[in-house]
A and B are shown apart, each in its own frame.
Chain A
Amino acid sequence: MNLNTSILKYIDDVKSGSFTVEEFISATLQRIKDIEEDVHAYLSLNDSTINDARLIDKKIASGEKIGQCYGFPISIKDNICISGTKTTCASKILENFIAPYTSTVVNRLQNEDVIITGKTNLDEFAMGLTTEFSAFGPTKNPWNLDYVPGGSSGGSAASVAANECLASLGSDTGGSVRNPASFCSVVGLKPTYGLISRYGLISYANSIEQIGPMTKTVKDSAFLLNILAGQDNNDDTTIDSNNVNYLENIEDGIEGKKIGIIKEMTTEGLSSEVSTAAKDAIGDFESLGASCEDVTLPTIPYTVAAYYTITSTEAGSNLARYDNIRYGYELESEGYEYNSYISKSRTKFGPEVTRRIILGGFVPSAGHAGKYFLKALKVKSKLISEINNAFEKFDYLIAPTAPVQPFRFGEKIDDPVTLMLLDYNTVTANLTGKPAISVPYRVINGLPIGMQIMANSLEEKSLLRSAYALESKTNLPEVPL
């Protein structure tokens, strides 16, 4: 059984009877059993997958109506709620939290007969770029187990790359889908803010984050977006997708399209491998009939600072509810006064979360908001007007997803500022709400490099077309694991 297959190929094979859903799911479970100890992509596994598979096989055999997913296996980042299952955010503070309701995205997938393999690892509360900040130990990069898988959706990316499922849902606040997609050589899409419901996604920085599909192919990404996109009554920030079919005309190519190469993201700070790959990509785009030209967005050097200011402010507020009163873990309240009790209970947060909560208490505070938080908001609005100008001229804006390739564990964890700069090329899409995708582009020295393409708001269809065109120019090796 070849587990390294796309969703679309899987569906064809199940439809044509090449294998049953149960056969594929069994093989996937065996794969998880074989390699999970090394990879550690999952925090928990669904123990009803075989039953689910049998039910779907029965439906297929009896000709009953069946959802368009045909039981393909998908993993879900462990900051997205599924009723009756643990949703930990890779945090000790939610170690025992069992969600009493299901997120909209999972509902939509389950209505289409998907099979959920389990919940994947992440940096605690999605704050980080390596999964080293998971309270339950890091995920390893399937391309080289000594290297980080990227983050925060590192478990999701690794589970797809290591063939422990066919796709995953991650969340992207500053690059958390695209960065691990780039590091693990999978396709990661961060859609326009509001295109996918966040109901059931545990908030970190709610004004800029989105759930996004992580897949083996660009077409699979479009397939999932067809299911996930659109308005949701449980999320007031969602917008109408107008029932766009993202798969339709995806092979139409990008002849005549105008591409801006973001100068601020391609000149400084890139490793030589990434820099070379970026030049190759420009060549590929041109050979596809697009015209490429440098573009300058002068506010970009301030975006990482603005991003951390805004996200810390929101995180400080969003994570305030973890006071261990309505849910949480065992901690006897006897002998504590209220404030000392919550202080005590909140010591369960890990170092990165604690750092951002402290920052989030400071930057928007009465005496400092003008110097930090309000300034960050100004950067954000300036950046939006710059990028809107750029999209008047260009169809797409491109840059490498990450300035470097995956690195070894421990290499950067003690240097928060260097870690933060890994976000340099990805935060712009979040701050501006624009859609962006990371496409696997190269594997050099056994380690992946992804290219990022950004498009204007709600231009996912066009974005996916360009990603498909670039993908078709690549010929990447299989994961060695």
Chain B
Amino acid sequence: MTKIGLEIHCQLTKLESKLFCSCKANYREFKPNHNICPVCMGLPGSLPRLNQKAVKSATSIAMALSCETPEKIAFFRKNYFYPDLPKNFQITQLNVYGDMSVGGEGYVRVENKKIKIRRIQLEEDPGRIIYEGASERTKITLVDYNRAGTPLVEIVTDPDFESPRQVRVFLNILSDLLENLGVAEPGLEGAMRADGNVSIEGGSKVEIKNIGSFHDLEKALHFEITRQQSLSERDIEIAQETRHWDDRRKITISSRSKEEDQDYRYFLENDIPWVKIDQNTRDTLKENMPESISSKKERYVEKFDIAPQVAEIIASDKYYSKLFENAYSDQNAKDIANLITTDVIGFIDTKEKQQNSKITSKHLSDLIDAINSKIITRNSAKIALQEIMKSGKDTKDVLQEMDLGQVSDSSEIDAIISQIFEDEKQAVIDAKKRPETVNFLVGKVMQKTKGKADPVKTLELIKSKLNG
């Protein structure tokens, strides 16, 4: 049986400042080495000052993943030399000597399987190494310390996954969960990374590092499983090792450096006293935690009779669920939900578009009101949505400016139908013989009225004219 475990790193980008200093947690907008200070540069004599909000965010994550959360936590030094590490040790956490990290022993349900979360720890992100010419063979290596000290949460799972597909489903659930908590933006480049480990029946555990994206992770896992299976079929022993993902060749390569043998000389970081997280704090965190995705979904289905697939889509995306939550009333909830999943999603399908879109919940409820009171057609609503997304103007103004008001006056529609019957004589004959082709004529009316004619009334009038 294939066993896959994950080690996920997620930056707490929603925090204002880094883990141990007041530099910005969101380092992305700065020129290289412009978001640094004596502390995150590890200058001689500087000391870490723990960002207490980061402890709270990390504890929230642990709670959302059903972890045990301890009353007090400690930080450790992980000692190793690397150019992106200003102090040549990383301040992190460890579950040894009884010293607890922010959480452990949790789980996430993935398709009725419990994926166990072994531990969650809070740590600092190192800086970034840039190889000039994007190759490790380059003569010039640049280091940008803007990222150094960014609060990072490491989530380690047990090897509970059986397939790369399951991993993908889990990562989707996890990134939705982290975003829903309001602590992270997994969509940001490099904000959420994952390494994996793979073992097959009878073989040793192989860790895969250097994986750039979730997409690559899935590929790397597939490759590694196939590699191990083919070794096993030929009775070649699968050695315990760390392999690196080669993004260019799409294969894993054995790491020449013996990283697995490295001794990190972990010991307590005495510059940061033990942090107490008392029951009161934990209770408050729990109370203020946003509703989980699964309970949201359940609520949508039960309370508003929304289809489970529709409820799932809205609940798992923070943007859509916010639009929905602020728009719905008991009467129009289902319509709003459908409008979001059939039309809004089509226009706003990326995080970037979500950020740029000017649609508000009020627009949605106004549009549904307009449809339900037959002021506009469903089709016109779609056209209006596109305009609203760009301009953010009031729904009423958009409908007026674009002349989208519905034509439901019978005599007006009748006149248009008469004209169409003149122009499309063959279609009229066809429709008389085969009633199912009547839609062609309805479509023509719609075309003429730019979608404004009431489709029900139009059909009614055409039918009576055909029969008459």
Q: Contacts A321-B86, A323-B81, A339-B81 given: A237-B45 contact, CB under 8 Å?
A: no
B259 smallest CB distance to A (angstroms) = 13
Min CB gap B398→A, angstroms: 52
Q: Say if the beta carbon of A480 comes within 8 Å of chain B.
A: no
Nearest CB in chain B: distance from A353 CB, A: 14
Residues in B neighbouring A80, C-beta threshold 8 A: 45
Are the C-beta atoms of A327 and B43 separated by less than 8 Å? yes
Q: Is the CB–CB distance between A234 and B47 below 8 Å?
A: yes
Choice from A87, A89, A234, A321 contacting B49 with Cβ under 8 Å: A234
Interface of chain A, main secondary structure:
loop
Q: How many residues of chain B get a CB closer than 8 Å to chain A's CBs?
A: 30
- Contacts A236-B273, A323-B88; A89 near B44 (Cβ below 8 A): yes
Of all chain A residues, the one with the shortest Cβ separation from B262 is A366
Decide yes or no: A317 and B77 within 8 Å by CB, A100-B43, A234-B47, A234-B49 being known contacts.
yes
User: Shortest distance in angstroms between A249's beta carbon and chain B's nearest beta carbon?
Assistant: 31
Residues of chain A contacted by B48 (CB below 8 angstroms): 236
Q: Kindly identify, within residues 174 to 203 of chain A, every residue whose CB is under 8 Å from any CB belonging to chain B.
A: 198-203
- Give per-residue flags for A93-121: 1 if the beta carbon is below 8 A from chain B beta carbons, else 0: 01001011101000000000000000000
Name the one of B42, B45, B77, B145 contacting A201, with C-beta atoms under 8 angstroms: B45
- Cβ < 8 Å to B, chain A residues 302-348: 313-314, 316-317, 320-321, 323, 325-327, 338-339, 342
Q: Does any Cβ of B come within 8 Å of A18's Cβ?
A: no
B46 contacts the other chain (CB 8 A): yes
* Given A97-B44, A200-B45, residue A320 in contact with residue B79 (CB < 8 A): yes
Q: How many A-B residue pairs have CB under 8 A?
A: 99
- Would A237 and B44 count as touching, CB distance under 8 A? no
* A side interface size, CB within 8 A: 43
29 pairs from A and B in contact (CB 8 Å cutoff): A99-B43, A99-B45, A100-B38, A101-B43, A101-B46, A198-B47, A199-B46, A201-B45, A202-B44, A203-B44, A207-B270, A235-B49, A236-B47, A236-B48, A237-B47, A313-B265, A313-B267, A317-B89, A317-B267, A320-B79, A320-B87, A320-B88, A321-B42, A325-B83, A325-B143, A326-B41, A338-B81, A339-B81, A365-B263
A81: shortest Cβ distance to chain B, in Å? 5
Q: Is the interface of B mostly helix, strand, loop or mixed?
A: loop
Q: A97-B44, A100-B43, A326-B86 are in contact. List 17 more A-B contacts (CB 8 A).
A: A79-B45, A87-B44, A200-B45, A201-B45, A202-B44, A203-B44, A206-B47, A207-B270, A235-B49, A236-B271, A237-B47, A317-B89, A320-B81, A320-B87, A325-B143, A361-B265, A366-B263
Q: Which residues of A contact B (CB under 8 A)?
A: 79-81, 87, 89, 94, 97, 99-101, 103, 198-203, 206-207, 233-237, 313-314, 316-317, 320-321, 323, 325-327, 338-339, 342, 361, 364-366, 369, 373
- Asked whether B459 is an interface residue with its Cβ less than 8 Å from the other chain, the reply is no
Q: Is the CB of B45 within 8 A of A203?
A: yes
Q: Is the CB of A206 within 8 A of B265?
A: no
Contact (Cβ within 8 A) B43 A233: no
Could you tell me if A365 and B265 are in contact, using CB atoms closer than 8 angstroms? yes
Contact A321:B47 (CB < 8 A) given known A236-B271, A237-B270, A237-B271:
no
Query: CB-nearest residue of chain B relative to A88?
Result: B44
Which 5 interchain pairs have the tightest Cβ spacing? Answer: A320-B88, A207-B270, A202-B44, A200-B45, A81-B45
